[in-house]
Amino acid sequence: MQTGTTLTQFIIEEQRHIAGATGDFTALLNDLVTAIKTISNAVNKGALIGVMGALESQNVQGETQKKLDVITNDIMIRNNEWAGHLAGMASEEMDEVYAIPTRYPLGKYLLVFDPLDGSSNVDINISVGTIFSILRAPVPNRAAAMEDFLQPGVKQVCAGYALYGSSTMLVLTTGHGVNGFTLDRDIGEFILTHPDMTIPVDTKEFAINASNRRFWEAPVQRYVEECLAGKEGPRGKDFNMRWVASMVAEVHRILTRGGVFMYPRDTKDPSKPGKLRLLYEANPMGFVVEQAGGAVSTGYERIMDIQPEGLHQRVPVILGSKNEVETIVSYHKEV
């Protein structure tokens, strides 16, 4: 027997508190949820339907694409292009803005997404996810131009992620806290299982790709060295280090028990100011983390305030438990 609040019920209840709401945003979220359920099914079946492995192609970032990168990108497009809610879409896997086909009506929102974050993990059955962000189109009902997507993170209407792990979860915010929903496959519905998710302000866990240590800037090296020094060091406590190589998995762990995730600026490739994409990863995750009481920074500035300059702009990312992020930022200020 079904128990608990479904995502559909939750969204409609939220809509009732918004004066002048038309239901357009609610319908868009329903289309997005349908895409996520379809992706969950594809990821879940994996090798059974022949979708594992890499392609010979690369995306705009020069990264080798997995078969599921292309498949999930197509699922997101096909489920969200037709209903008349969107003026355009942008994806980590596409060079340019996706124009809504002329046979479909145009709407007042923009959808930005990373269809399969952590896809390098799919062949070894480690958690991956989908990250998404919804913006208002500057000019509703007009085909979106690239410039329309270049909005700072504070302009987001909604953001969140789906996690495809031991269960499929959807975590989202519309600017009024963060809520998590778990997919009940028996009834095909997401059920509210993690209401009002918050990030503890203190933590004893940090996540970073330690293989890049020699390329880190001095403030990050200092912070990690202090954590590794444990009780005998200046922090006076022992830390654990984690690294999944899937931003969705890292952020979800932080949302459930605290921690810090870092993909900082380094000197490994001087042409890239950071590893993660501002529009597809940093801004949506930044919105979620801040709404859960955490903090997000490049080390030098709040990520949500950055004015984007391009669709695939990269930035350093430091996010998680507020007190730890503030400590790392203070070390950057001392340089």
Residues within the annotated binding site for Mg(2+)?
A: 92, 114, 116-117, 281
How is residue 127 written in tokens? 């958690």
DSSP string, 201-264: S--SEEE--GGGGGGB-HHHHHHHHHHHHGGGSTT-S--EEE--S-HHHHHHHHHHH--EEEE-
How many Cβ atoms from other residues are within 10 Å of residue 53's Cβ?
Answer: 11
Domain boundaries in the chain? 7-194, 205-333
Torsion of CA 31, 32, 33, 37, to 10 degrees: 100
Q: Is the pTM of this model over 0.85?
A: yes
Residues within the annotated binding site for substrate?
A: 117-120, 209, 275
Q: Which range (26-30, 116-120, 325-329) has the least confidence?
A: 116-120
- Summarised one tens digit per residue, pLDDT across range 20-41 is 677 899 999 999 999 999 999 9
Looking at domain 205-333, its CATH architecture is: 3-Layer(aba) Sandwich (3.40)
Highest CATH level, class, for 7-194: alpha beta
Cβ-contact 97, 311 below 8 angstroms: yes
Residues within the annotated binding site?
A: 92, 114, 116-120, 209, 275, 281
- Summarised one tens digit per residue, pLDDT across range 76-117 is 999 999 999 999 999 999 999 999 999 999 999 999 999 999
CA distance 56 to 66: 9
DSSP letter, residue 197: -
